[in-house]
Amino acid sequence: MRVLIIGAGILGSSAAYHLAAQGIEVEIVDEAHQGKATMAGAGIVCPWATKVEEPEWYKLYEAGTRFYDGLISGLKARGETDLGYGKVGALVVAEDRAEFDAAAERVARRTKNAPEAGEIRHLTPAEARALFPPLREDFDAIHIPGAARVDARLLSAAMVRAAVSMGAKFRSDYVTLKTDGDRARCLDSTGKEIAADQIIVTAGAWASQILRPLGLDHPVVPQKGQIVHLRLPGVATAKWPVVLPMSSHYMLAFDDSRVVIGATRENNSGFDYRVTAAGELEVLSAGLKIAPGLANATLIETRIGFRPAGETMNPILGRVPGFSNLTLGNGLGAGGLTIGPFAGSQIAKIAIGQTTDIPLDLYAPKAS
């Protein structure tokens, strides 16, 4: 069995790692696009606070969270230490008291049978600011100690390195697909075929372009996100919790005195790889409203990522109808860094004919 994976983001790198760990021959081909969502993403692994109440999607979201402990321990056992992952906890806050109370009810209900979330506590404003000092002085918070943050570019790179150490091959190239009966064939940038028994496409926002020559109208488009990175020189931020203000924005901190505020959700933007005045204003305004103590931080960069956004919030995971050797993982949208590693392991199973850990029929690609 030889499996070709097109795209080395969070999905593709996970699929490669889990296939290589089973002794499967794997080749990963990735093009260094500007704005790859994985390269820009600063992820939050905390399903319990989300407002989404769709039960099947939540099962997938929760499974993605539970998957992380085994993934991280497995990578560490293989000598990978630069993972960008930390179980730092989360603070759920809200400007509106009714919204805060609703969040508290959701968290309590969902963590009742989720010991990995840890002991949930209601914190006073002083207690919350002791954990995240820039926070506003009037915010109560719900503390979820089991929440985590992840630097997607570091985690994906670690999974690729681990896969290569187990025999996988990696190359940076532009590939195209063509139809050969009920099979897809892959050609590299010179027109030479890349031999493969099975092909997995995990090309993020660029998947539609790759699948189009097969006559497939793939319903995923880029959703632009602008993410602001700040630095607080000399401040130890490594253990600061994630801040979830019950909006589309969020905050998290990393080891190098860095605090991240995200993110815009810009539809119909195409692949417009620019930091815009409106985007910067939106993100900074939302962040400083929640954490005014960041006002004097140094703005060090704004990253741009193109999330692969589908017609619904459901991802697209499974065999492509009409093809005997083509599996697709795409459309994770804003949930990509929570779901991605688990979903990658599951599409690896699908590609080689194994049973998935949870049913994924709901997420199977539709016939064009």
Per-residue pLDDT of 230-245, as tens digits, reads 999 999 999 999 999 9
The tally of domains found in the chain comes to 2
Domain match, 303 and 238 both: yes
Domain match, 329 and 206 both: yes
Beta strand residue intervals within the chain, DSSP E: 2-6, 25-30, 42-45, 85-86, 90-92, 121-123, 141-144, 148-151, 169-172, 176-180, 183-187, 198-201, 221-231, 242-244, 250-254, 258-262, 298-309, 316-319, 326-330
Of the residues 293, 308, 323, the one at which a domain ends: 308
| Chain segment 126-153, per-residue pLDDT in tens | 999 999 999 999 999 999 999 999 998 8
Q: Residue 32's pLDDT is what? A: 81
Could you tell me if residue 76 is inside a domain? no
Domain match, 169 and 282 both: no
CATH code, domain with 90: 3.30.9.10
Mean of the per-residue pLDDT values of the chain: 94
HSE value, Cβ hemisphere, 13 Å, CA-based, for 280:
11
Could you tell me if residue 244 is inside a domain? yes
Domain match, 295 and 330 both: no
Domain match, 214 and 319 both: yes
Report d(CA 14, CA 36) in Å as an integer. Answer: 16
Q: How far is CA 186 from the centre of its chain?
A: 26
Of the residues 308, 338, 355, the one at which a domain ends: 308
Could you tell me if residue 78 is inside a domain? no
Q: Residue 35's pLDDT is what? A: 72
Domain match, 304 and 317 both: no
Domain match, 160 and 180 both: yes
**In terms of Cα–Cα distance, which of 200, 174, 176, 172 is closest to 186?**
176
The three-class DSSP label of residue 110 is: helix
Q: Find the range with the poorest average confidence among 4-13, 38-47, 112-121, 294-303.
A: 38-47
**In terms of Cα–Cα distance, which of 288, 229, 282 is closest to 260?**
229
Q: Indicate whether 40 pLDDT > 80.
A: no
CATH code, domain with 337: 3.50.50.60
Domain match, 277 and 290 both: yes
Q: Indicate whether 39 pLDDT > 90.
A: no
Report d(CA 196, CA 302) in Å as an integer. Answer: 38
Per-residue pLDDT band at 92 (split at 50, 70, 90): very high
Q: Indicate whether 67 pLDDT > 80.
A: yes
Q: Residue 334's pLDDT is what? A: 78
Domain match, 119 and 133 both: yes
Could you tell me if residue 270 is inside a domain? yes
Q: Give the rounded percent of residues in the chain with a pLDDT score beyond 70.
A: 99
Could you tell me if residue 75 is inside a domain? no
Could you tell me if residue 285 is inside a domain? yes
| 330: containing domain | 2-39+153-220+312-363
Domain match, 230 and 299 both: yes
Q: Indicate whether 335 pLDDT > 90.
A: no
Domain match, 157 and 144 both: no
| Chain segment 295-307, per-residue pLDDT in tens | 999 999 999 999 9
Could you tell me if residue 20 is inside a domain? yes
Could you tell me if residue 338 is inside a domain? yes
Q: Indicate whether 34 pLDDT > 90.
A: no
Of the residues 308, 334, 354, the one at which a domain ends: 308
Domain match, 235 and 356 both: no
Tokens 């309590």 belong to 108
Q: Give the rounded percent of residues in the chain with a pLDDT score beyond 90.
A: 90
| Chain segment 228-284, per-residue pLDDT in tens | 999 999 999 999 999 999 888 999 999 899 999 989 999 998 999 999 999 999 999
Per-residue pLDDT band at 37 (split at 50, 70, 90): low
